[in-house]
Structure 1
Amino acid sequence: MPGPRPVPVRGDADLPGAVDVVIIGGGIIGCATALELAEAGQRVAICEKGGIAQEQSSRNWGWVRISRRDPREVPLMAASMRLWRDLDKRIGRETGYVQSGICFICEDEATFANYDRWKDHLVPYQMQARMLRPAELQQLFPGATIRGVGALHTPEDGRAEPQTATPAIAEAARDKGAHILTECAVRSVETQGGRVCGVVTERGRIGCSAVVVAGGAWSNLFLGNMGLDLPALGVVNHVLRTGPVEGGPEQAIWTSGYAFRKRADGGYTIAQGSGNTVEIVPDSFRYARRFLPALRMDYRELHFRLSGRFLHEARRARSWGPDDVTPFERERVLDPAPSPRMLKALMSNVSAEHPAFRAATVAQEWAGCIDVTPDAIPVISAVGSVPGLHIASGFSGHGFGIGPGAGGLMADIVLGRSPRVDPHEFRFSRFTDGSRIAPQTGY
């Protein structure tokens, strides 16, 4: 696999006959949900078609941020940040979490005013956020020549290591009794009397009373086979990491031309601040109308690409039975190709403003596929039409940082306990109950 190599997690050799909850997907959302459920005494099995964290959970930027979140996500992200602070102690393993601060650069006064308004969302959570002018910004990034009129600075934001964090959470769930089943795709969900009663995997059946679909970019396809429509499209982000950079900044930074954060090894993960690639696939046409409000807001930041992915998905089975080989077994890891042109421009943009990077070596390049919903917030919800079925997906590029909190909220819903934040905005039924579906950031 050309992409990042997460810490390997050994899959269990034996399939359990029955558990309380089966989680479909071994990314950070699925593993965080498993940990919460296992800590509550539930029998849990994580079923992952490939390996733990081999897709977006190891390919993301590694940011743990509340800054510039959609206001509907802020309460859950505040809860997640509290969990990150004590997570290493809780699980007895290193995630690489560091509270380092993040700066979002404002290129004009209108953006500066928007970010200034946004920081009011943090007031109820006693979190700091300051607007910095260029002189103050220079103190955080000495020697840099950052273009802009100022920045939003959130010192309580931080970073963690994607290649280690999710495997560490998975192993902690195993410590509490969870089964981890890798290269074990779930083919179908079984029901009895309309309720979930089990799943059929490529290795056999597991009885259960609840299922959580946390399949990231694959959730739409899996749920479609059940007759359920989770509107989501894949967006590709292009990322690289450098070798160690002498004198590099501790603070993470976002600009329209680049974003970076320091890594535990002294190198940096660098990505585009804007300019994600949208693969044109058959679902692009099926969901075009639903995504129009988001496209009107972000179309300047998107690059549309027609590639072999269109035919690949056009030929892919959209329905199958429990005895059929599924698309999840034919494509264990979604590994999109990075754009050399974009990554070359990326290093040029960073080096132009930060002299410390001019001698940096590129150690690795990759791309990852982000599952995006029309309103750019996730679904964390029970499915009313199928008792026992739950969805935790559609995190729209925000899943890594919010992962511990989202897993906790999903566990709250599965267990029927008082939710840690109001889950109303994340309900699956919002796509069918007449609600207005659109991003609310505006920042």
Structure 2
Amino acid sequence: MTITVQKIQTENKLPNTTSVVIIGGGIVGVSAALTLAERNIPVVLIEKGHIAGEQSSRNLGWIRKTSRHYEDVPLALAADKLWQDMPQRIGHDLGYKRCGIMFLAENAEQMSNHSQWLNSVKSLNLDSRLLTAEEVKDLVPGGQKKWVGGVYTPSDGKAEPAIAATEIAKAAIKKGAIIIQHCAVRKLNLSEGKVTGVITEHGEIKCNKALLTGGAWSRRFLNNHGISLPTLPLVCSVLRTKEMQGPTNISVGGPDFSFRKHQNGGYILTQRGALDAPITLDHLTIGWRYLKQLKTQRGFLRVSVGSDFIKDLKIKRHWKANEISPFEQVRTSNPNSNPALIKEAIDNTRKAWPIFDNAEIDETWAGIIDVTPDSNPVIDHIKKIPGLTIATGFSGHGFGTGPAAGHLAADLVSNHTPIINPSPYKFERW
């Protein structure tokens, strides 16, 4: 986990009743809590560990429209506006800046992919544009590799994951939300199939609506209620450098590296061309759903079979309300970063921009990404369980759209007009 993550103190007394219980304290959950509290809807958010303990504080901090699926761009556009207005809304700066994001192409095929994406979103009137090799040099000077060109969106941005969800949670509390940390929700309490409460390790809260924003844990929680959510875990390794001079403030993604400026003056780097895929039982049971992705992204996944398989088998898949749940067995997922991927990240960045030869690693960490078969999340009611809504499966893109995703989830829960058309995120699409 990044050592810079900010933690907060919250209540530890569980109320008897509320209108909405949110399960999971990442950026989507706290954004939903903030939106509901602003509408004076009683809401309690319950987090098994601490706020933003997992992927919400471990991601790269990119806020982008570039290379998103066409149907996912409206959510990203809504998020842009919410990020921009957030300091006034919550009274705290989250490090949000429209720094621009650039994806590079080292051959004609990659350039064609960027061109195809740009054509696919032409009707959305983004400020994205294709770059020539000379324009790449002008915008990011000092490079040594020969790029064919790239795609660039000046209005894309960044924020700081180590503080964002925490500060949004603080604002939600000030506006009336109750947040409980270090408390696991074991199960939903159902009456005639409808949500009437949630049962935690410290007792029950009565409610008529529940919102699940559990990230990589959502599949296991839903499976215990007979709902199959097709998400699989992947692991991203990240490093942060000490303060240094860099080539640009633009966030840059190459085929096998990425970098963006951090608020401390250093850079966040990753091996953009690889994620770890430690095999678990879920990979064996639903991996067939991902065959299309595997065909188009060969070499992207570093598959391994080892201790993670055994660890996963030891975590419960079925449990009763009076039994210890998986969420008490593992309060916070804290995978080790992969030294090989960390080395590749900094080596590949140095080859492209030699100024990173001076980079000193300040820290490394890793986070678990919950990936869906089409790389889009689910933000929808679960028809089989009236009163249950889920917002999960963000496939590594959730931080950037987090405020809008939480807002949309709150809209669905409270029957407000949705901030954007939610149809791309229907659960039934699978």
Q: CA deviation at 1:122?
A: 4.6
Counterpart of 1:220 in structure 2 is 219
Counterpart of 1:377 in structure 2 is 376
Q: Which amino acid aligns with 1:84?
A: W
Could you say what secondary structure the match of 2:71 adopts?
Answer: coil
Cα distance in 2 for partners of 1:315, 1:7 equals 31
Counterpart of 1:264 in structure 2 is 263
Counterpart of 1:401 in structure 2 is 400
Cα distance in 2 for partners of 1:25, 1:182 equals 9
Give aligned pairs, total. 430
Partners of 2:2 and 2:162 within 8 A in 1: no
Q: CA deviation at 1:250?
A: 0.4
Query: What is the correspondence of 1:412-423 to structure 2 with a 5 Å cutoff?
Result: 412-423=411-422
Partners of 1:60 and 1:368 within 8 A in 2: yes
Cα distance in 1 for partners of 2:122, 2:422 equals 20
Q: CA deviation at 1:127?
A: 2.7
Counterpart of 2:127 in structure 1 is 128
Deviations 1:202-254 (A, max 9, x none): 11111111111110010000111111110110011110000011244101100
Check if 1:16 corresponds to 2:15: yes
Check if 1:193 corresponds to 2:210: no
Counterpart of 2:203 in structure 1 is 204
Query: What is the correspondence of 1:322-361 to structure 2 with a 5 Å cutoff?
Result: 322-361=321-360
Deviations 1:346-391 (A, max 9, x none): 1111112212211111000111100001111100000001110011
Could you say what secondary structure the match of 1:54 adopts?
Answer: coil
Check if 1:103 corresponds to 2:102: yes
Query: What is the correspondence of 1:290-309 to structure 2 with a 5 Å cutoff?
Result: 290-309=289-308
Counterpart of 1:55 in structure 2 is 54
5+ long unaligned stretches in structure 2: none
Check if 1:156 corresponds to 2:155: yes
Tell me which moved more, 115-124 or 70-79: 115-124
Tell me which moved more, 213-222 or 346-355: 346-355
Could you say what secondary structure the match of 2:126 adopts?
Answer: coil
Q: Which amino acid aligns with 1:344?
A: K
Counterpart of 1:88 in structure 2 is 87
Partners of 2:246 and 2:356 within 8 A in 1: no
CA, structure 1 residues 61+426, in 2 after alignment: closer, same or farther (shift >3 Å)?
A: same
Sequence identity (%) = 39
Q: Which amino acid aligns with 1:336?
A: P
Could you say what secondary structure the match of 2:297 adopts?
Answer: helix
Counterpart of 2:35 in structure 1 is 36
Partners of 1:276 and 1:303 within 8 A in 2: yes
Cα distance in 2 for partners of 1:146, 1:32 equals 41
TM-score under structure 1 length normalisation = 0.95
How large is the RMSD of aligned CA atoms in angstroms?
1.3
Partners of 1:371 and 1:396 within 8 A in 2: yes
Counterpart of 1:79 in structure 2 is 78
Q: CA deviation at 1:125?
A: 4.3
Cα distance in 2 for partners of 1:120, 1:128 equals 12
Partners of 2:270 and 2:346 within 8 A in 1: no
Q: CA deviation at 1:121?
A: 4.8
TM-score under structure 2 length normalisation = 0.97
Partners of 1:245 and 1:356 within 8 A in 2: no
Q: CA deviation at 1:193?
A: 2.5
Partners of 1:290 and 1:374 within 8 A in 2: yes
